[in-house]
Chains A and B, each alone.
Chain A
């Protein structure tokens, strides 16, 4: 009744192709942005930022990156953790080497470095396809982590191989290090997330995105109609790795503040982000958000309910968390196999007709 497109006339292609064609959606989008930028920062405290918002935003950037590669271009990657490590260690070296340059540039350059590494490990995708490609990215994952663990230059020869983020500022506001205010941490992550989502959305609905989807759906057919597979696959690897690198840089510098290659960027991270993308919905920007939210917020929520409200022992609660998340994944699949994004799309379809289904 309230969510409808009646009376919403489009007079140009531009209007017809916009991201949110329905007026209510557009309004919702603007309201969400306004709330996120202008309201929440005044209310967040350390707990909400460190346990909820910062990990959610940063994982969402990584999920966006992986979704471009896997969801849009159809190239399976299990090297996300390794690429995040590249971002993290690049930003660390840059922060220490050029303390006077704004951290924003460091993060972007770290993303650029990751893009180069990503393209290098993406080259085998020219020959290896489908599930077999996963091994190439797995090689990247394990080799990169090993490298960062082994070569002392990456962690400035500290005794243990841990890297620590020194204090850096943006426009005079501290955004890394222990003295960061909750709102600053929140905003810097949010700014990068919104920029990443805008970037990803506009790339995927344009020429580049269509080429990627062509390659995904059938690469030979795409090649015949004139898509250059080398350029398409490499650009997907580059863009994806760039976003993953940015996410890794923020993960280390803004969120954790200290990291170690094997512990923070191991294979489990690669799987976690792949799960986010798959559960959220392959080939969907919204899906990346939904998947990240599900995988980050669900355990926190369950923990708070089970331990905080019901007062269960922590070990039992931790085990039940796994059981419930696992069961939810299976139940979602049986109800709606194409991820949370599809579930959302269906809900909206139903809402348009509500309360008159026929």
Chain B
């Protein structure tokens, strides 16, 4: 096979892997958007907060150490123990549920029935709050995240493709793990929303708040539930991205990548988020591979958005979005 074709195949494969992660982040948005019509701008900060909490708990760091030291003149830094990874993940997950509960109780509860733009604005407020709160709690240095996930070149894939095509494909172990976990997560979320009582209630709320309320569904419970789910999704995304780079505030930028995925897939569709993520993951890698060198590279910065724009011109509600029906 010609070399260029092999390269393109390798790039496509890696694009799919990246796409799965985009889909995962986008999923966090879709869950909340479907259930409450809120576009959650703070999702990226949830990722940072979840990952920081995980590492902080794992390393036995004292929360708010800097603040405590400043006020009381002490010199505390960590408790001197480390927590097993599994336990730390559970604690971090619990923390995200707690965050969801706080958000519902102190913010969303007071804003029921307000227009979407107001709720969006509230998430801006949360973004600011957490931008300060997360580093205040855990510090702003790079935190090394190690939950025992394998990283680096996958040898079976390398050897198999080497034998088959004479060119070994690169595939990151971490990406493979991430893809598998994301796939499991997505599948279980779909099953959850289709086949459980809470899942059905969630969809009912998404359809019509008032109708759902009138048949006895607790809006508060559903909101806490979807925000918790979004928090857990954020934790998983945080682990995947943080394993590569360490945990730091710039992880929040990852969430921006979810925007074109959402637009492309349609804000309200779980399958849309997945397919959108894959299309964008593959699309931007292939474009950078084929066209990037001609125009000086770094095209990933905008390609996803232009791609989404082109799709939207032909399908204004996104690939899987609900058809927009307009009446006067």
Contact = CB atoms under 8 A, between A and B. Distances in A.
SS class, residues of chain A in contact with chain B: helix
A244 interface: no
B87 interface: no
B138 to A, nearest CB: 11
B296 A150 contact: yes
A218 B136 CA distance: 45
B313 A124 contact: yes
Given A139-B305, A146-B299, A316-B70, A224 B328 contact: yes
A324 B115 CA distance: 24
A179 B118 CA distance: 44
Interface in A116-136: 124, 127-129, 131-132, 134-136
Contacts of A328: 125
Given A124-B309, A326-B125, A330-B125, A132 B132 contact: no
Given A132-B263, A221-B328, A312-B70, A322 B114 contact: no
A318 B66 CA distance: 13
Contacts, number: 134
A269 B125 CA distance: 16
A320 B132 CA distance: 6
A279 B306 contact: no
Contacts of B327: 220
A143 B267 CA distance: 23
B124 interface: yes
Size bracket, chain A contacts: 35 or more
Contacts of B301: 142, 145-146
Per DSSP, chain B at the interface is: helix
A333 B121 contact: yes
B165 interface: no
Contact of B324 (A129, A138, A149, A312): A129
A134 B128 contact: no
B310 to A, nearest CB: 9
Interface string A287-305: 0000000000000000000
B125 A333 contact: yes
A329 B260 contact: no
A135 B312 contact: yes
B111 A321 contact: no
A260 B256 CA distance: 21
Interface string A190-227: 00000000000000000000000000001011001000
Nearest to A142: B302
A96 interface: no
Interface of A: 124, 127-129, 131-132, 134-136, 138-139, 141-143, 145-146, 149-150, 218, 220-221, 224, 267, 275, 278-279, 282, 312-313, 315-316, 318-330, 333-334, 337-338
